[in-house]
Chain A
Amino acid sequence: MTTVLFQRARVIDPRNGVDGVRDVLVTDGRVAQVSQGPLPAPKDARVVDATDKWLVPGFIDLHVHLREPGEEGKETVLTGCRAAVAGGFTGVVAMPNTKVVNDSALVTELVLSRARDADLCHVYPAGAITKGLKGEELSEAGELIGAGCVALTDDGRPVMNAGLMRRVLQYATQFDVPVMVHEEDLTLSAGGAMHEGATSTRLGLRGIPSSAEVAMVARDLVLLEETKGRLHVAHVSCEGSVRLIREAKKRGLRVTCEVAPHHFTLDDRAVGDYDTHAKMAPPLRSDVDVKALREALVDGTVDAIATDHAPHGVSDKLVEFEKGINGIVGLETALGLTLALVHEGVLTPRRAVELLSDGPARVFGLPGGHLAPGAPADITLLSPSEEWTVDAHRFYSRSRNTPFHGRTLKGRVTQTWVGGRCVFEDGQLKESR
């Protein structure tokens, strides 16, 4: 294990209240020392000049679709991990809606084994709430968590049955893992292809009203209060949802939530002329919702920025808008889109880093997320003002479905370190094999 000395970095470590120029020493895969004064370089240490760079806790993405097993043409655990580290992520939570669904230890172990083979970043599987995501019978949560799952979710689908949702919130309290929910009342969203508003009217597309999400958030908060469980609301997209979550937090409920970069960056007008790259679930909402999400990122209502990285093939998107499959890839654009909020003066650097690292680590109780001595040396080094143009064809992800192709972003990852090992540097992967 190498010893590394990062010199003169701007270290931003929200959990430990650090924001200033520091030297950071890493030994044996862990942070050894964070010093205001210059540290002497130990013999054989790799010395990294981090002048003008930010050195921050490695990002953790609570919401990633790695597509393996079943849809390896779109992504695999390996290609997803490559995209993750290229985007500055040192840990990702893998959603269970693969084909085969992760509703058994067998699938969890398969994903973990692929992640060990990839040997790039931490992969934390999430297990399905219900068998086959059918919303009928509970999966064996104890087995899933025992095998390594860090949360339970039927992501991609809501749990429409309120009785069942109540039970899973109750049942999961014995393991103290969050129940992560995709909030969508299917009777309200039925047939909808995008947000209901002036754009859907102009395009003649069936709209999905905000109430499809907000009504389910309201329902689950009521159930949460009764069950004293832990609820994590995935990809919150609208004003009504953040308002309810903000109030629930004030009342002390154990609710957390995440927002995806595309939802705080784009509104429904991005669908433009039936651009399926702007088709996702939940849909891009109104400008009022975007503003509300930004406020919620600032005031602490939102705990984490999560990408909902959803790779799809070209043929899934090169079709009629209504037929287009939902989702965009997000791992490699998340930092640039988040830093756009910093450059616009919406978020402080510290808050932006918190939303990408400490916040998600706390929500799911994951290691990392901070840089105190003894913490795992999961580190992202970035150039906050470096401009680059998104070229989807150069993504490490196996898929290219993004509405941000061609957009110039400011802020780029220079190095990603996982457990004290450099896995990505200057645009190149550093794979162990």
Chain B
Amino acid sequence: MRHLLGIAGWRRDELEALLDRAQAHLPGGPDASHVLRGRVVANLFFEDSTRTRSSFEVAARKLGADVLNWSYAGSSVSKGETLLDTARNIEAMGPAVIVIRHRSSGAPGLVARHVKCAVVNAGDGAHEHPSQALLDAFTLRQRWGRLDGRTVLIVGDVLHSRVARSNLLCLKALGARVVLCGPPTLLPPGLEEMGGEVTHQLDAVLPQADAVMCLRLQTERMSEAFLPSQREYSRLFGITPARAERMRPEALVLHPGPINRGVELSPVVADGPRSVILEQVANGVAVRRAVLEACAS
């Protein structure tokens, strides 16, 4: 049993092995419905996320697991129960794996230190979203074979993005160059220490990218004065058809979803030939099957 709390702490060969394992879980692969038969996967979602929760649920069921879905709304937490008490109560029901989504950075790690079963981080605050990074890397590897020497450009609100942090760590570990681009108010200090390169000039770096990963822009960032307006953001950092024209011919576009169409990504690009967004979603199930299998074993 091993937790997946973040990409940090995993070696390249371990990440590669996980991605190789995911390969076997793609549709058409060998039947895996016995892998977690009779075991329970508990989904603890303290924050809404239909996409990630559904993906883990489908992955767990395809491995033959029983799924316990627990959500914040109307739960004991809203009655004042602490995170650890909730986790210990769920643990008492005997799950093999607890999958946690939480708005506080570090929450899955806190739970992992106090329960005996495996814990999978399904996104914690602005810290990490490791399964998302793995499915992104898987998708790129599917297209490119290897990530060595490739440049991935991550564009947008890095400050609040767990997807950006996990991807930065994961892509770097797999040999890619990672450039982070966004307005100065949304790029936190110390990204270079994590291996990233930082720029605010999208048009200057766009032609270097083998893949552009757009981050979702939260509308509340406008009211918090990180940005003047969505309009200005879109003008400076949105992937418009005109910008897509200036990308390398074979360069890919990724997005963790859900997309603000016309803000970080124009609909034409999101649905166009560069986009691998739906492949990301499909690969997500295979990657999460591999994650659950690895953690439950």
Contact = CB atoms under 8 A, between A and B. Distances in A.
Interface string B123-148: 01111100000000000000000000
B30 interface: no
B190 A198 contact: yes
Contacts of B189: 196-198, 201, 207
B73 interface: no
A274 B107 CA distance: 9
Contacts of B201: none
Contacts of B126: 204-206
Contacts of B84: 318-319
B188 A320 contact: no
Given A198-B193, A274-B106, A323-B104, A204 B82 contact: no
A119 B190 CA distance: 51
A16 interface: no
Contacts of B194: 198, 201-202
Interface string B185-218: 0001111011000000000000000000000000
A238 to B, nearest CB: 15
A251 to B, nearest CB: 33
B102 interface: yes
B288 interface: no
Contact of B128 (A204, A206, A322): A204
Interface string B74-95: 0000000011100000000000
B3 interface: no
Contact of B104 (A202, A315, A322): A322
Contacts of B107: 320
B264 to A, nearest CB: 20
Interface residues of A, number: 21
Interface residues of B, number: 24
A319 B82 contact: yes
A203 interface: yes
A72 B194 CA distance: 44
B267 interface: no
Q: Which 3 A-B pairs have the closest CB atoms?
A: A198-B190, A204-B127, A274-B106
Given A198-B190, A201-B194, A323-B104, A274 B162 contact: no
A227 interface: no
Interface string B94-138: 000000001011110110000000000000111110000000000
B187 to A, nearest CB: 9
A119 B125 CA distance: 48
A199 interface: yes
A198 B192 CA distance: 9
16 contacts: A197-B189, A198-B189, A199-B190, A201-B165, A201-B191, A202-B193, A204-B125, A204-B165, A274-B109, A274-B110, A319-B110, A320-B83, A320-B104, A321-B105, A322-B104, A322-B105
A204 B163 CA distance: 11
A320 B190 contact: no
A273 interface: yes
